[in-house]
Every structure is written in structure tokens, then in C-alpha cells.
Amino acid sequence: MSLPGFEKKTVSVLLPIPTDGAYSYGVPDGLELSPGDYVKVPLGNRELAAVVWDKQDNTVDPKKIRDVILKFDCPPMKQEMRKFIEWVAGYTVSHPGMVLKMFLRVPTALEPEAPMKGLMFTDKQPERLTPARRQVMEFSEQGLSWTKSGLAHAAGVTASVVDGLAKQGVMKTIELPPQPLFPKPDSTYGTTKLTPDQQEKADALREIVGQKKSGTTLLEGITGSGKTEVYFEALAECFSQGKQALVLLPEIALTSSFLERFEKRFGARPAEWHSELAPRAREKTWRQVITGELQIVAGARSSLFLPFKDLGLIIIDEEHDLAYKQEDRVFYNARDMAVVRGQIENFPVILCSATPAIETRVNAQLDRYAYLKLESRYGEAILPDLDIVDMRKNPPAKGKFLSPLITKAIEETIARKEQALLFLNRRGYAPLTLCRVCGHRFECNNCSAWLVEHRFRKTLQCHHCGDSKPTPEACPECGTLDHLVACGPGVERLGEEVIEAFPEARTIILSSDMAGGVKRMRLELDAIAKGEADIIIGTQLVAKGHNFPLMTLVGVVDADLGLSNGDPRAAERTFQLLHQVTGRAGRAGGKSRGLLQSYQPEHPVISAIKAADTEAFYEREIDARRLSSLPPFGRLAAIIISGQDRRETETYARALRHACPHTKEVRVLGPAEAPLALVRGRYRFRLLVHAPRSFAVQNWLRAWFKDGPKPRGNIRVQTDIDPQSFV
Ligand code: ADP
Ligand code: ZN
């Protein structure tokens, strides 16, 4: 209780909720709180983990102020990190609380780790020495502590034998201190002999990391040029300074080969951070990141919001990858935010890619980023010879999808005991199913999308909302039996064609929705690397970073896919993807081939890939962006308005559009019905804001939202700065 005349001490606290700023809370007597402290506070009838924020003068009725419940026993959030949160919120036009929420993904990690119970032998001897007990007693000499199950396992007895001995006082229970998840990496453990070109780039990176200053470097190099080997040297430098490092990877759950390579180089595995991580491991990782016990994390985009104690370096592998863009709640690009985190915390950031994003390339050309380029593949490895299969001249047989040219190439490849990869970025059996009698098309009830047949599971699925139903035998419209027909190919259907053509070959179909999940996928990828398959059919996920030494043929089933959907980034995306896919071939030396099936071989993107002319592609694309002031020469922001009622949503979108501040430099397009107009039962409209690069578009948007009509009911407005996807 405070005496009359004495004001109660208060602090600002940022909560992980969508509000504009921090709230005031009272400080109970005896509690010392400073900005950055993790605290538990009441909110309504909930209790939330939150962070004491830098003082903000929000006037609150003192009678309404509630007290902080407790302060967690955990190192505080650094001032730089609080600044980073404010920055991300400002840039993405989000609530700081929602950015904080990404830092507080594992609130249970704030409680100290429950100590593990261990057992230790005393001097007491067991009352009766049965053979099982004798086996346990063999371990009594060493004076070590054991876990119960560990001891039982080591002695080859059941846990009840150990229990019995403990009851007699032969062992006493002790508390084992929390164990580090992984040993620290050793910079000198397994060094690689680099080529002169690699060494030069590695030295440059070591020097950059040695300066302990902010700054971004683009490390470009074709697939197989040894980018990973080179950036390992940057990591080595960072570890020898005793600092922490973060490596972002697009498909971390699938890159077990990265973890193994890291272990070979540094003698310890990196901690992983991704959605597949078990809750206990997640807690432990978070805690050891904040205390600095963990020196290296390899993670998905969300690992950017880990509370590192002393981060010295972030590396973003495959920096152009769309997996870094979150399009949900806070729309952010982990690559761009990593660059900012580096600036705020004053450490370098390295971006790696064989096909950098146009933005990154331009930043490098304008000297905003340092630029290092590896010119050739390592060792014997040479890039595959690329050919376009003109599908107008070499069409597949009726109802088939592979040109005879590709089938012949597969035949030759497997005859040489080498591997062939067929790439098709379409999951399931067929992208569209219709009835041959009435023409009924199977469409999702919640989304404006065709249902995709998954023949293996006998379901029709929506790839946008995940809705799924059994494939019916009769048409729901006209009732005719057995007249449904699949249109177009998916990987399952392609698999059927391949197995029919090559019944003897070992064929594996890999797709991200495969039964068995990540575990199975890792096994399959390992099996392929070991040569346990002849023909691999896969979607995007096989394109990413895997090393398949026996792969000498890559066939792209539909190179045109994605070129014709009106997306301003379509050319860039297709170029990157095809480059990456064909780069799977020939990584172990020897001749290899890439064949791209196309109905428009004269398209500039297709011909740039054929000519392996990366520079020509970038020049053309950068010019085109400059001419139309598209990013990075101008700014784009998308406003996505969604709601359950189509008319209401559209009416609101129009009203919002109407209320936009008039500014000469800014163009607002729309509202347009989003190409995927209905998703998960919500109708979507988009406004697209196009502004000059120098224009502070965030402030402008905030002013617009503040003065414009407020969304009511279930209508939601989301802002996507630098949109990457236009669906
Ligand atoms: P990138 O990341 O550019 O695709 P990697 O670093 O994965 O290239 O290298 C491709 C392959 O070549 C890997 O198997 C890697 O181990 C090998 N490699 C690259 N450089 C060297 C080197 N200096 N010594 C031994 N192996 C190397
Ligand atoms: Zn759907």
C-alpha cells in the first residue's frame, strides 16, 4: 500500500497483443524493474508474459492500474532488441505487441528449467544382492550421477530394480543441473582445403566478420560452387570471437545434410529452430539462446526472433527464397529484417544465393551491399548442358505429359546407373477434375480454387484451405457414375506415367504433403543421395539445396508454369526456380543434362536459362523494373481486405480506397478482387499502393488508416509491405 500523497510507482509494459503501445502497470513494493525485464502481468482474466518497455507517457487512471505479478528470473531483453521490435512494427505497419509476440513464442521458457532428478550411489550396500542388483552395483564405483532410466539401461535391468535400491538408501536422489543442448562449435575442428577462389572470398568474409560492424554482403555463386564451405569460414571467425551466429535456411526441417556438414566442420551440431521442433527442445533452445550457452542456431525464418545474448553474424542461405516471407499477422521478409537487426545490433549479415533476388542484386550493384562472387563449380563439377524441348514439335503421346525426348534421356540415364529427376511443381494427381457428361468442375466451397485429386489417398483436396473430401464415384451434379476425368498433371499422375514406361526402375515421388511428414522426407532424401532410387519425381522441395551425387538428368515437365499469371515477379521466380532445379544435376562431376519442356521456348526467361546467361537475365529484368519504377526502384504495398460477406467486403474496400490521402507521387490501384478471391471462406480484395522509393509509405498508410473508415464486424485489413505474392 502506498501512503497518501505518494504516487504509486508504475512502469510501461509491452504485451504480446494487438494494441498500439505499452500499458502502465504498478510496481509492487520491493520489486525492482527496468526496461527489458520479462514480467508476468494480468490482462482481463488472463496472465501474460510481457516485457517492461521504455517509458511512454500514457495517462492511465491510477485507480485502474493493476500490478505486475512477477519478474521472471531471466536475462532482460536488450535495448537493441526493443528497438528492433519497434522498427519492425514501424516498417510492416503492425502493432509492436504483435512483433513482441514473435519473440515470446515460448513463454514457458521464461520459467527456470525444472532440474532433472538424478541418482547417486551412497556407501550403503544392498540388503540382498540379486543378479540384477549386482549388475547395477557394478556402476557404483565411479561416483557419477545417473538418471534412473540411464542407469537401468546401462545395467540392462528394469527401472524397478533401480527403484528398489534407491528405497533401501543405496542411492540418493540429487538434482542434475540443466545440461547444454549442444557442445560449442570448434572453429578449428575439421577445416576444408578451399580453392584459391573460395579462399579469397572466405578471407574477405573473415575480415568482414572480424571488424564486428554492421554491413551486408552478398555471396553469389552458382549451385555447387562451394558457398556453404565459404560461409563456414565466416562462422568460424564469429565463433572464435566467442559470439553467437544464426544461419537461416529455407527448408530447415529437410536440410539434415547441412547439419551433418556443419558437424564435420565444427565438431558439434547446430541447434535447430523450426515448426517441427518438440516443445521441450524449443524451450531449452530459447533459454540457452538468451543465456548465450548456445552459440549457433540453424533455423527457419522465425529464428530471427530469438533473443540472442550476443549475436555476431547472421547468414541467410538461398536469400531469394519465398519461404523467408511471412504472409500472416505481421507480414515480414526475414531477409530484410535480418539486415535491419544487423544494423541495430551492429553485426554483419551475409546473403547467399545462386540467383539473388533482384532487390539484392541491385543493392550489390549500388554498393549498398558488398559483393563477392564465386565463378565456378567446385572440382570436377560442371553445370549441366541445358536444352529446351519444344513441345509444339515434340509433343507427348495423348494423355501423357513427357515428350519422347525426355523419355529417351531417362532411359539412357538409368541404363548408366545414374539418376534422373523430373520436376513438376504440382502436388497430387491432377490440378482439376471434371465430369465428362455434364462438365461439372470440382471446386472448393471455401476458396476460389479447383480441388486437386489425390488418387493415392482417394481424396479431392483444396491446396489453399486444406479442405478435403473423398473422391466421389458419381458426379454430384448429374449423378453419372465413373465419368470423372482428371485434367492436367500432378506429381502422382506423372508417377503413373513413369512407372508404366519404366516398370523396372525404382521411382520415388516426393511432395511436401507426403504421408509420414518431415521424418519420412528426410529418409527419402537420404536414400536418394545414397543412390537407392533411379527416377525421382518431385515438387519444389527437391530443388532446394540437396546434394545428389548420382543425378545427371533433370527434366522440367512444365517450364512455362508460373510465367503467365500476371505476377510482376513471375519472371524472377521462374528463373530462380528453374536455375535451382537444373542445378541439382552434375554436382559430382561428369556430364549432365537439363531438359526443359516448354510451349514458348522463345520467352526471354526460358532462353536466358537455356543460355545459362544469368547476367542477361538480370540486366533485362532490372531494366524492366527501373522503367516501371517497380521494386527496388519504387515501393509497393498491398492492402488486403477480407470478410465473410462479399458485398460488405467490397463496399468497405471501396470506401477505404475513397478515403485515401491524395498525394501526387502515390498511385493506388484497386480494389481488385484478389486472384484467389475466396480463401478459407473469406472474400478478398486488394488495393495496391505504388510509391517512389524515397516516399515514406508507412506514415502515409498509417495516416490513411487513422482517418479512413474503420473496418466493422468480421472485416479485416492487412498490410503487406513489399508484397511477394499476388494471389
Ligand atoms: P553451394 O552451397 O554453392 O551449392 P556447396 O558448398 O554445397 O556449394 O558445395 C558443393 C559440393 O562441393 C559439396 O558437396 C561440398 O562439400 C563440395 N565442396 C565445395 N568446395 C569444396 C572444397 N574446397 N573442398 C572439398 N569439397 C568442396
Ligand atoms: Zn479451399
Q: For residue range 257-286, what is the model confidence (pLDDT) as tens digits?
A: 889 999 999 999 999 999 888 888 999 999
- pLDDT band of residue 34 (cuts 50, 70, 90) is very high
Q: Which of 378, 383, 547, 551 to mutate to test the pocket of ligand 1 (most atoms within 8 A of CB)?
A: 378
Q: Does some domain include residue 412?
A: yes
Handedness of CA 37, 40, 42, 46 (dihedral sign): positive
Handedness of CA 269, 270, 272, 278 (dihedral sign): positive
CA of 365 to the centre of ligand 1 (A): 26
Please name the residue whose Cα sits nearest to atom 20 of ligand 1.
226
Residue 460: beta bridge partners? Answer: 453, 469
- Is residue 565 within 8 Å of 605, Cβ to Cβ? no
- pLDDT band of residue 1 (cuts 50, 70, 90) is very low
Q: Which atom of ligand 1 is nearest to the CA of 193?
A: 23
CA of 183 to the centre of ligand 1 (A): 25
Q: Which amino acid is at 572?
A: E
Which DSSP state fits 397?
Answer: P
Q: Which atom of ligand 1 is nearest to the CA of 222?
A: 3
CA of 224 to the centre of ligand 1 (A): 6
Q: Which atom of ligand 1 is nearest to the CA of 228?
A: 6
pLDDT, the chain, mean: 89
- pLDDT band of residue 152 (cuts 50, 70, 90) is confident
Helices and strands counted in the chain (H then E):
19, 32
- pLDDT for residue 198: 96
* Number of domains observed in the structure of the chain: 5
Q: Which of 191, 220, 222, 229 to mutate to test the pocket of ligand 1 (most atoms within 8 A of CB)?
A: 229
Q: Which atom of ligand 1 is nearest to the CA of 230?
A: 6
Among 54, 73, 104, where does a domain finish?
A: 104
Q: Does some domain include residue 73?
A: yes
Instruction: Indicate whether 528 and 656 sit together in one domain.
Output: no
Residue-wise pLDDT for 300-353, tens only, equals 999 999 999 999 999 999 999 989 999 989 999 999 999 999 999 999 999 999
- pLDDT for residue 565: 61
Residue-wise pLDDT for 93-150, tens only, equals 999 999 999 999 898 899 877 777 788 888 888 888 888 888 888 887 777 778 888 8
Asked if pLDDT for residue 672 goes beyond 50, the answer is yes
Q: Does some domain include residue 609?
A: yes
- pLDDT for residue 4: 52
Instruction: Indicate whether 605 and 519 sit together in one domain.
Output: yes
Using only C-alpha atoms, what is the Rg of the chain? 29
Q: Which atom of ligand 1 is nearest to the CA of 229?
A: 6
CA dist 423 and 491 (Å) reads 8
Please name the residue whose Cα sits nearest to atom 9 of ligand 1.
226
Stronger pLDDT, 398 or 207, i.e. the higher one: 207
Please name the residue whose Cα sits nearest to atom 10 of ligand 1.
224
Q: Which ligand is nearest to the CA of 450?
A: 2
Residue-wise pLDDT for 284-305, tens only, equals 999 999 999 999 999 999 999 9
CA of 679 to the centre of ligand 2 (A): 6
CATH code, domain carrying 682? 3.30.70.600
Instruction: Indicate whether 370 and 397 sit together in one domain.
Output: no
Q: Which amino acid is at 682?
A: R
Instruction: Indicate whether 617 and 686 sit together in one domain.
Output: no
- Is residue 296 within 8 Å of 181, Cβ to Cβ? no
Q: Which ligand is nearest to the CA of 230?
A: 1
**Over residues 593-618, mean pLDDT:** 87
CA dist 475 and 472 (Å) reads 7
Q: Does some domain include residue 110?
A: no
Query: Does the reported pTM lie above 0.75?
Result: yes
Nearest alpha-carbon partner for 112 in 172, 175, 26: 175
CA dist 21 and 548 (Å) reads 50
Please name the residue whose Cα sits nearest to atom 5 of ligand 1.
226
Domain range spanning residue 125?
116-168
Query: 237 is written with which cell numbers?
Result: 571467425
H or E stretch covering 279: helix 279-291
- Is residue 72 within 8 Å of 38, Cβ to Cβ? yes
Please name the residue whose Cα sits nearest to atom 19 of ligand 1.
226
Q: Does some domain include residue 458?
A: no
CA of 467 to the centre of ligand 2 (A): 6
Q: Which ligand is nearest to the CA of 463?
A: 2
CATH code, domain carrying 406? 3.40.50.300
CA dist 514 and 516 (Å) reads 6
Q: Which ligand is nearest to the CA of 462?
A: 2
Asked if pLDDT for residue 502 goes beyond 60, the answer is yes
* Cβ-based neighbours of 696, under 8 Å, separated by 6 or more: none
Residue-wise pLDDT for 505-534, tens only, equals 999 998 877 777 777 888 888 888 899 999
**Over residues 181-186, mean pLDDT:** 90
Angle at Cα 70 formed by Cα 67 and Cα 71, nearest 5°? 120
Among 331, 349, 374, where does a domain finish?
A: 374
Instruction: Indicate whether 391 and 258 sit together in one domain.
Output: no
By DSSP bridging, strand 370-374 and strand 215-221 are parallel
Instruction: Indicate whether 562 and 671 sit together in one domain.
Output: no
Residue 596: beta bridge partners? Answer: 388, 556
Q: Which ligand is nearest to the CA of 191?
A: 1
- Is residue 159 within 8 Å of 119, Cβ to Cβ? no
Q: Which atom of ligand 1 is nearest to the CA of 547?
A: 14
E-strand stretches of 320-427:
325-326, 332-333, 348-353, 370-374, 385-390, 419-423
Stronger pLDDT, 675 or 709, i.e. the higher one: 709
CA of 722 to the centre of ligand 1 (A): 33
Q: Which atom of ligand 1 is nearest to the CA of 261?
A: 16
CA dist 572 and 179 (Å) reads 46
Which DSSP state fits 340?
Answer: H
Nearest alpha-carbon partner for 360 in 327, 333, 392: 333
Q: Does some domain include residue 34?
A: yes
CA dist 477 and 469 (Å) reads 16
Q: Is 723 exposed, middle or buried (0-12, 13-18, 19+ CB in 10 A)?
A: buried
Q: Which ligand is nearest to the CA of 443?
A: 2
Q: Is 101 exposed, middle or buried (0-12, 13-18, 19+ CB in 10 A)?
A: buried
Residue-wise pLDDT for 535-564, tens only, equals 999 888 777 757 788 889 999 998 888 776
Please name the residue whose Cα sits nearest to atom 22 of ligand 1.
194
- pLDDT for residue 391: 92
Residue-wise pLDDT for 43-97, tens only, equals 999 999 999 998 776 666 777 889 999 999 999 999 999 999 999 999 999 999 9
Please name the residue whose Cα sits nearest to atom 18 of ligand 1.
226
Instruction: Indicate whether 569 and 689 sit together in one domain.
Output: no
CA of 323 to the centre of ligand 1 (A): 23
- pLDDT for residue 572: 86
**Over residues 707-712, mean pLDDT:** 94
* Cβ-based neighbours of 717, under 8 Å, separated by 6 or more: 639, 640, 641, 656, 705, 711
Instruction: Indicate whether 211 and 340 sit together in one domain.
Output: yes
- pLDDT for residue 681: 86
Among 104, 124, 152, where does a domain finish?
A: 104
Q: Which of 228, 375, 584 to mutate to test the pocket of ligand 1 (most atoms within 8 A of CB)?
A: 228
Farthest CA pair distance, the chain = 93
In this structure, the number of other CB atoms found within 10 A of the CB of residue 157 comes to 20
Q: Does some domain include residue 507?
A: yes
What residues flank ligand 1, with Cβ below 6 Å? 192-195, 198, 221, 223-229, 378, 547
**Over residues 661-673, mean pLDDT:** 90
In this structure, the number of other CB atoms found within 10 A of the CB of residue 220 comes to 23
In this structure, the number of other CB atoms found within 10 A of the CB of residue 664 comes to 5
| Length of the chain counted residue by residue | 727
Residue-wise pLDDT for 193-212, tens only, equals 999 999 999 999 999 999 99
Q: Mean pLDDT check: name the lowest of 4-8, 309-313, 477-481, 712-716.
A: 4-8
CA of 311 to the centre of ligand 1 (A): 26
Instruction: Indicate whether 619 and 639 sit together in one domain.
Output: no
Instruction: Indicate whether 359 and 406 sit together in one domain.
Output: no
CA of 314 to the centre of ligand 1 (A): 20
CA dist 298 and 249 (Å) reads 7
Instruction: Indicate whether 535 and 642 sit together in one domain.
Output: no
* Cβ-based neighbours of 7, under 8 Å, separated by 6 or more: 62
- pLDDT for residue 2: 45
Q: Does some domain include residue 457?
A: no
Instruction: Indicate whether 351 and 421 sit together in one domain.
Output: no
Asked if pLDDT for residue 483 goes beyond 90, the answer is no
Asked if pLDDT for residue 484 goes beyond 90, the answer is no
